[in-house]
Structures are given as C-alpha cells and as structure tokens.
C-alpha cells in the first residue's frame, strides 16, 4: 500500500490558530495512506537579500528540505486583508531563493479558516497564483473555505461542524488520488 508523507504548513504562527486546528482535523480525517507532520518555520527571518547574500539561514534550508522530502503539502492559512498572510508569503519567497526549487511539481492542497464569512477565498486565489509561479501542482477541488471559524471548533480544538468535516474528508480523498496520479506521471 502506498504511503504518503504530507507536510502541513500553517499560514498563522499563533499557538491557538484555527488553521492549525484545521490541519489537525485533516490529519484525523485523511486516509491511512497519508501521514501529516506540521512544519515549524517560525524562525525564518524576514526576506532581505543582504541576509541571503551572507548565506541562506539554517531555518530556510531546513524548511526547504522538509518541503523537498515531503510527497505533498497541505497548506492551511488565514486571509489577511483579502490576501496571503505575511509569514506564509515571506516563507514562500525564501523558498524561491534556495538552490533547488522545492515547490516544483509538488502536489498541494489548500484549506483556509477565517473569522470572516468568505472563509479566505480571496487569499486562496492569490496563493494559487504564487504557487503556480513555482510550478506547484495545486488540487482544484473540493475547495475548502471555513468561514466564521470560531463557531466550527469546540473548546478542546476539535472540528465539530459536520458539513466541514465531510468536506475535509472528501478533500483528503481527492488529495490522495491527486498525489497518486502525479506520482505515476
Ligand atoms: C492582519 C489581519 C488581517 C485580517 N484580514 C482578514 C481578512 O481579510 N479576511 C478575513 O476573513 N479575516 C481576516 N482577519 C481575521 C482572521 O481571519 C482571523 O484572525 C483568523 O482567526 C486568523 O487565523 P488563525 O486563527 O489561523 O490565526 C485578519 C486578521 C489579521 C490579524
């Protein structure tokens, strides 16, 4: 049976992030062939070419290696001011400056959880554009936009909204097929 290492990337660094909880829910709902590990890229500095010229920071190299060795990426991120969160965009920008492009041909699925009603749709389309610039292969559907996220999880952090659980389980099945299909190409 195939076994896929999925790297979870959360676009919010805060400990109680709803997007981190969404990644944990995805881990619970994904098929047995997939195993999720959530990356910690919090030590990546702000991109600055002067820093790059002094040598790629260890946290950047480490994150790049985690992406490169994963079979697939699951990115869960909030929308900030209708766009990609700064920390996520910064980390992606760094990834495009290291010697071997880690996003190239990588299967990716997207989730977003936001306080607003639109569930992060506006940022997801920007994120698709940015990932497309790096030749990442982003699953098209099902799309998951978790609006009013503070109503969808209980106090222990469990995703309790049944419709969202079903959608997430469906997305994980589609993601498994997507990874398998790209592995055959
Ligand atoms: C700087 C900033 C900008 C935000 N902009 C948006 C926005 O454009 N749309 C939206 O739905 N929520 C917006 N929010 C609210 C976030 O969706 C909400 O804080 C969410 O819980 C953050 O995700 P997290 O729980 O994973 O940290 C914004 C929050 C911050 C801090």
The CA distance from 17 to 153, in Å, is 11
CATH number at residue 98: 3.40.50.360
CA of 109 to the centre of ligand 1 (A): 20
Structure tokens at 124: 């997801």
Ligand 1 pocket residue status of 14, Cβ below 6 Å: yes
Number of domains in the chain: 1
**Domain range for 25:** 4-184
Cα separation, 112 vs 62, whole angstroms:
25
Contact between 92 and 39 under an 8 Å Cβ cutoff? The reply is no
Provide the residue-wise pLDDT of the chain in tens; the chain has 185 residues. 779 999 999 999 999 999 999 999 999 999 999 999 999 999 999 999 999 999 999 999 999 999 999 999 999 999 999 999 999 999 999 999 999 999 999 999 999 999 999 999 999 999 999 999 999 999 999 999 999 999 999 999 999 999 999 999 999 999 999 999 999 87
Residue ranges of alpha helices (H) inside 70-161 are 86-95, 121-133
Q: Which atom of ligand 1 is nearest to the CA of 150?
A: 21
80-130 tens-digit pLDDT = 999 999 999 999 999 999 999 999 999 999 999 999 999 999 999 999 999
Residues 102/95, Cβ–Cβ less than 8 Å = yes
Question: What's this model's pTM, rounded to 2 decimal places?
Answer: 0.97
Query: Apex CA 56: angle with CA 88 and CA 94, to 5°?
Result: 20
Q: How remote is the CA of residue 11 from the centroid of ligand 1, in Å?
A: 10
DSSP string, 52-95: HHH---HHHHHHHHHHHH-SEEEEE--EETTEE-HHHHHHHHHH
Q: Is the minimum distance from the CB of 77 to ligand 1 under 6 angstroms? A: no
Distance separating alpha carbons of residues 115 and 184, to the nearest angstrom: 39
């Amino acid at each position: 049976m195939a076994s896929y290492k999925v790297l979870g990337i959360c676009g919010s660094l805060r400990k109680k992030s709803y997007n981190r909880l969404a990644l944990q829910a995805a881990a619970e709902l994904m098929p047995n062939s997939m195993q999720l590990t959530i990356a910690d890229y919090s030590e990546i500095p702000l991109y600055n070419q002067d820093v790059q010229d002094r040598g790629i920071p260890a946290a950047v190299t480490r994150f790049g290696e985690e992406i490169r060795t994963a079979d697939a990426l699951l990115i869960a991120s909030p929308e900030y001011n209708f766009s990609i969160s700064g920390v996520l965009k910064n980390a992606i920008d760094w990834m495009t400056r290291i010697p071997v492009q880690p996003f190239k041909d990588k299967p990716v699925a997207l989730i977003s959880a936001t306080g607003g009603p639109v569930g992060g749709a506006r940022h997801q389309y920007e994120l698709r554009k940015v990932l497309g610039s790096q030749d990442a292969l982003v699953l098209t559907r099902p799309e998951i936009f978790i609006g009013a996220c503070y109503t969808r999880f209980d106090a222990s952090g469990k995703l309790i909204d049944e419709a969202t659980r079903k959608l997430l389980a469906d997305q994980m099945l589609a993601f498994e097929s997507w990874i398998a299909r790209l592995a055959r190409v």
